[in-house]
Amino acid sequence: MTVYILSPLLRMKISGAQGASFSEYTFFRYVHISLMILAIVLITIGSAKAKRIAGDQEKYKTILKWFLTALVILIIAIPWPFSPLAQRPLLRFFHF
């Protein structure tokens, strides 16, 4: 959470500097963090529910259902280069 809060993208928009579009700022400020936290919650719920089930087959079905849902949410929350919400390159090179 500290790395996310200290992100240069968020600090730039908070300070009022230009450089990132409004939709990209909104994605990183609200959508990205919300979906990532939701995925963590779903993984935790799925793990807790699976621990209470006695049969192995039912246990693995429960884990598959909850973890697969969390995986889909994680994939949606990644800022892909082809995403209309946040166009970020896969590899960024910093020039000092």
pLDDT, tens digit, for every residue of 30-83? 888 899 999 999 999 999 999 999 999 999 999 999 999 999 999 998 888 887
For 48, the domain range is: 31-78
87 inside domain: no
Tally of domains in the chain? 1
Question: Residue 28 to residues 13, 32, 69, 75: CA-CA distances in angstroms?
Answer: 11, 5, 21, 14
94 inside domain: no
19 inside domain: no
2 inside domain: no
Q: Which pTM was predicted?
A: 0.72
24 inside domain: no
37 inside domain: yes
